[in-house]
Amino acid sequence: MPLNLHDTLSRETREVFPMDGETVRFYCCGPTVYGPAHIGNFRTFVMQDVFRRVLETSGQKTFHARNLTDVDDKTIRQSQEEGVLLEEFTTRWTERFHDDCRALNLLDPHVEPSAVGHIPEQIALIERLVQGGKAYQAEGSVYFKVDAFEAYGRLSRLADREITTSATTRENSDEYDRESAADFALWKSRRPEDGDNYWDSPWGEGRPGWHIECSAICMKHLGESFDLHSGGVDLVFPHHENEIAQVEAVTCKTFARHWFHIAHLMVEGLKMSKSLGNLHTLEDLAEKGYKAQEARYVLLSGSYRQPLNFTFDSMNAARKALFKLGDFAAKFDFHPSSQDGLETEFGPFYPVQEALLSDLNTPEALGRCFRLVRELSEGLERGEYEGRDEALEEVRRGFQATCDALGLVVAPAGDDNEEVPAEIRELAQRRWDAKQEKDWESADRLRDELLAQGWEVKDGKDGFELARAIA
C-alpha cells in the first residue's frame, strides 16, 4: 500500500512515489540558526521525520535534504550584538539544533547544506534570472520581477491585491528599492550594518536574499525537478511561492511535484509568541521535568493539517501513554532494536501502518496502536504465546516497526534510570520541611504541584523518595 498525502498545490490527497522509480527525493526547509528552536518549529520537523519514516518502513528508499539558514538579517544582527563572527555564532546554534533533533529522535537528513556554503550556486541562479528577463538590478540589489512569471500565486492562491499587500515583516525588512511592491530581493547590496558579512557578485558586494538559498540548494542536491517539498504552513507565502517562481522561471519544469505543509502549534489555546512567553524549547520543558520523547508524543497526537494545542496536561498524558507502552514492552522482554535501518514487518500492527499511509494519520495510528497493545497484552497474560516463538517474534517486529514509524523510543518499564531534576527535588524538600513544621496546607499544595509536573513523592521515616507519577 502506497503513502497517500495531501498536496497543498492541487488541494488533493495523492500518492507519493519517486519520479525516478527508485528514491523519493524531498526537501525540508530547515531552521534559521540564530537561537534555540521551539516546540512550534519542531512540530514541523517531527512530522517531516514521520513522513520519511513511514516511507522507509514501507520499504521505500528516500533522499532527504534539509537546509540551514546561516545568513540573514537576524543572524547578522545578533552575531554583531554578541561581538562574535557570524560563523561562530551560527555554528553554536546549529549544534544546539542538532542536540534537540537527537533528543527528539529525528533521523539525520542525508544532506544538510547551508546558505553560506552555497553562495556561488545562488549567484549562478540569479544570473540566469537576469539574463532571462525575470529579474532586474537596482542600486546594487537584484529583484525578481513577479509580473514576468504568469503562474505566480498558484500555490497560495492569492489574488494580485493580496500578493502585493501580504508581504511578511521579514520580507519587508529585507527589501530596498523595487519597481513593484510584489517584487522580492534575490541579491541585496551591502549595507553598513552588514559589517564584514558580504560576498562579491556581478552586481557588487552584498548577500543573497532569503528565498534564493532554498531554490539553489534544491537544484544542486535534488535537481531541477524532484518529488516533494515541505515546510510549515507559514512558508506557503511568500517563501515557497517565491521558490517556485525562481526555479520554474528559468527551467520551465515543475519544481516540486508534491507540497507538504504542517499546520501551526498553539500553546494552551493561544498563538505562540515571544510577548506571551510561550515559545517553549526542549530545555524549558526539561527544566519542568519533561522528556523530549513526551514532547514528540504530543506533537504526534493531532492531524498535521490542523492546528494542534499544546498543553502541560497533554504532556502529562503523553507520559502516561509512554509508560503504558513500556509496560507492554516489559511483558515480552522487548528492547529497541540496534539494527541499521528501520523495521518493515508490521505483522499484527499492520493497522497502525495503514493509518500512517493514509495521509500520515498519526492520531488514528496511536489509537490503533493502543487497541492492539491492550489486546496483545491480554493474550500474553493468558499465556497464548507460550511456546509460540515465531508468533511472539511477529509481535516484537511489529511493535518495533510501529515505534520506528512513529519515531518513539520505548524501553520496558523499569529500565528508566532517570535523574530527578533539581527543581523537582527542591519542591519535594520544601514539602518535607512543611510537613515537619505541620504546615499541612503548604504540604498538600506542594504535593499537588509535584503531581502536576508528573512526580509522586513517597514519605518514609527519615525522608522521602521521588518517582514518576503514573495514573
SS3 of 195-242: the string is CCCCECCCCCCEEECCCHHHHHHHHHHCCCCECEEEEEHHHHHHHHHH
Domain match, 151 and 176 both = yes
Residue 338 forms part of a structural domain = yes
Of 379, 406, 433, the position where a domain reaches its end is: 406
Angle between helices 312-331 and 362-381 (to 10 degrees): 40
Residue 413 forms part of a structural domain = no
Domain match, 364 and 219 both = no
Return d(Cα 373, Cα 426) in angstroms, integer: 37
Domain match, 383 and 442 both = no
Domain match, 396 and 427 both = no
pLDDT at 169: 47
Average pLDDT value for residue range 116-143: 97
Residue 414 forms part of a structural domain = no
* Most confident segment among 128-132, 335-339, 439-443: 128-132
Domain of 318 in residue numbering reads as 277-406
Domain match, 190 and 52 both = yes
User: Is the per-residue pLDDT at 419 higher than 70?
Assistant: no
Return d(Cα 47, Cα 27) in angstroms, integer: 13
Domain match, 388 and 330 both = yes
Of 239, 262, 285, the position where a domain reaches its end is: 262
Residue 302 forms part of a structural domain = yes
Residue 416 forms part of a structural domain = no
Q: pLDDT over 90 for what percent of the chain?
A: 77
Average pLDDT value for residue range 303-308: 98
Q: Say what the pTM is.
A: 0.87
Residue 87 forms part of a structural domain = yes
pLDDT at 416: 53
Residue matched to cell numbers 510584489:
182
pLDDT at 354: 98
User: Is the per-residue pLDDT at 167 higher than 60?
Assistant: no
Domain match, 300 and 221 both = no
pLDDT at 173: 46
Domain match, 123 and 245 both = yes
Domain count, the chain: 3
Tell me if residue 428 falls in helix, strand or coil.
helix
Q: Is 415 left (phi over 0), alpha (psi -120 to 50) or beta?
A: alpha
Tell me if residue 360 falls in helix, strand or coil.
coil
- Average the pLDDT over each of 261-275, 279-293, 355-369, 455-469 and give the range with the smallest value: 455-469
Q: Do residues 246 and 122 touch, judged by C-beta distance below 8 A?
A: no
Mean pLDDT of the chain: 92
Domain match, 230 and 375 both = no
- Average the pLDDT over each of 235-239, 309-313, 334-338, 440-444 and give the range with the smallest value: 334-338
Binning pLDDT at 50, 70 and 90, where does residue 454 land? Answer: confident
User: Is the per-residue pLDDT at 371 higher than 70?
Assistant: yes
Residue 145 forms part of a structural domain = yes
Residue 171 forms part of a structural domain = yes
CATH of the domain at 39: 3.40.50.620
Domain match, 146 and 213 both = yes
The burial of 111, by beta-carbon neighbours within 10 Å (0-12 exposed, 13-18 middle, 19 or more buried), is given as middle
Domain match, 121 and 189 both = yes
Domain match, 9 and 140 both = yes
Average pLDDT value for residue range 303-315: 97
Binning pLDDT at 50, 70 and 90, where does residue 466 land? Answer: confident
